[in-house]
Chain A
């Protein structure tokens, strides 16, 4: 998955980083937007895999000096990582909380109250897992108690 940054120049690839970028934006906007639903999130997950495949085939023109097309090809790796984290966490969190709204799971659910969704790259696959929220430091917790009155 990770490769040497300059390898894009030797790529026999046929993909255009700008086109892949646009497709990624459209996918996330349409399927992992403000109101989310499982079927769309699962579709996004599949599309992200296709986009990662395309991104790895980006061909880069020009040279090393100030080359935005090359920089975008490199940035796509990170953008895809963030998109995967967002999508997988959204699938896993079967409730609506804060900025995350699930049409199929309206409202808070107590079982998600004390967990974070953590996405890791395991053998080249993104894997999401629920993990307990870290304990709030004492000094912060005290502020909340004070504010409660």
Chain B
């Protein structure tokens, strides 16, 4: 206290130096597919820890069979997703210092996926959706054997490449969170990101819009932005992936000439053109036919 004289008086009295800091109370969900419950563990806090460190310490000292999935401890593998005090987050990127540790801290598995054990869920639904997505299909190379892309087209997809497949966005999306029955007809935010990445790729020639509309269920999304809020990679899922996809689908439904032109030519160029118009707002200033000078139109 003696060295504190120059600073403003603190309201809370400091604990006497040397006194051990108060134990953390961690409530971890333990159980399996047949059910389970929260179990309380007390551990001494350590400087600079994240939730995963504390969970590992409980595992090493009190609960050797506590199941928790992790790999990188650096927020890049997407393995350690859980719900911390009810909020979906990566355990390795959630600092204990950001949580109110005067109360118990709860850690539970992601709710949208079936429990395997303790904090580990079976996320295979996501991999099943991934298999359904029509793959990247580039057109022919330029005569010199190269592909060429405009920098602006490359930049647009960069954000989507950051996805680490933590599936926190899938976990939080209300369309499937408590509605198992919606899973077969809904791709979910992570895969709208993937689809947007493919649809906006300057070299891709497939048109997935009908598919996204009818089979991937984008209409169920009512742009609540919960997915964006929990994304550890700060991908603007709703604004930059879902809404542009929805706009493209609306365009294809209300712009039959453009749709037909793209069907016939199978060329990505018109997609880029309509994208550019959308951004300048010029689409509304011109009649659809004139606004889509398709290479195949004259044929």
Interface readout for B30-72 with A: 1 if CB under 8 Å, 0 if not? 0010000000000000000000000000011100111110000
- State A66–B118 Cα separation when bound (angstroms): 9
Interface readout for B148-187 with A: 1 if CB under 8 Å, 0 if not? 0000000000000000000000000000000000000000
B117 within 8 A of A: yes
- State A65–B116 Cα separation when bound (angstroms): 8
- State A61–B66 Cα separation when bound (angstroms): 10
- State A18–B57 Cα separation when bound (angstroms): 10
- State A16–B59 Cα separation when bound (angstroms): 11
* Residues A62 and B65 in contact, CB atoms below 8 Å apart: yes
Q: Which of A22, A60, A65 lies at the interface centre, i.e. has the most chain B CB atoms within 10 A of its CB?
A: A65
Nearest CB to that of A61 among chain B residues? B65
Partner of A67, one of B60, B61, B67: B67
Residue numbers in A under 8 Å from B61 (CB-CB): 18
* Residues A65 and B32 in contact, CB atoms below 8 Å apart: yes
A128 within 8 A of B: no
B120 within 8 A of A: yes
- State A70–B59 Cα separation when bound (angstroms): 12
- State A68–B62 Cα separation when bound (angstroms): 13
Interface readout for A24-67 with B: 1 if CB under 8 Å, 0 if not? 00000000000000000000000000000000000011110111
Nearest CB to that of A59 among chain B residues? B64
Residue numbers in B under 8 Å from A70 (CB-CB): 65
- State A67–B68 Cα separation when bound (angstroms): 9
Chain A interface size, under 10 / 10 to 19 / 20 to 34 / 35 or more: 10 to 19
* Residues B32 and A68 in contact, CB atoms below 8 Å apart: no
Nearest CB to that of A69 among chain B residues? B64
Partner of B64, one of A22, A63, A68: A68
- State A70–B61 Cα separation when bound (angstroms): 14
Residue numbers in B under 8 Å from A117 (CB-CB): none
Interface readout for A12-23 with B: 1 if CB under 8 Å, 0 if not? 000011100010
* Residues B64 and A60 in contact, CB atoms below 8 Å apart: yes
The minimal Cβ–Cβ distance linking A97 to chain B, given in whole angstroms, is: 32
- State A68–B67 Cα separation when bound (angstroms): 6
Interface readout for B115-135 with A: 1 if CB under 8 Å, 0 if not? 011101000000000000000
The minimal Cβ–Cβ distance linking A24 to chain B, given in whole angstroms, is: 13
CB-CB contacts below 8 Å: A57-91 with B: 60-63, 65-70, 72
Q: Which of B59, B60, B68, B118 lies at the interface centre, i.e. has the most chain A CB atoms within 10 A of its CB?
A: B60
A65-B59 CB under 8 A given contacts A16-B64, A18-B64, A70-B65:
no
- State A62–B36 Cα separation when bound (angstroms): 14
Residues of B in contact with A (beta carbons under 8 Å apart): 32, 59-61, 64-68, 116-118, 120
Residues of A in contact with B (beta carbons under 8 Å apart): 16-18, 22, 60-63, 65-70, 72
Q: Give me 10 other A-B pairs in contact (C-beta within 8 A), A18-B61, A18-B64, A65-B116 excluded.
A: A16-B64, A62-B64, A62-B65, A65-B32, A66-B67, A66-B118, A66-B120, A68-B64, A68-B67, A70-B65
- A-B residue pairs in contact (CB < 8 Å), sample of 14: A16-B64, A18-B59, A18-B60, A18-B64, A22-B60, A60-B65, A61-B64, A63-B65, A65-B116, A66-B67, A66-B118, A68-B65, A69-B59, A69-B65
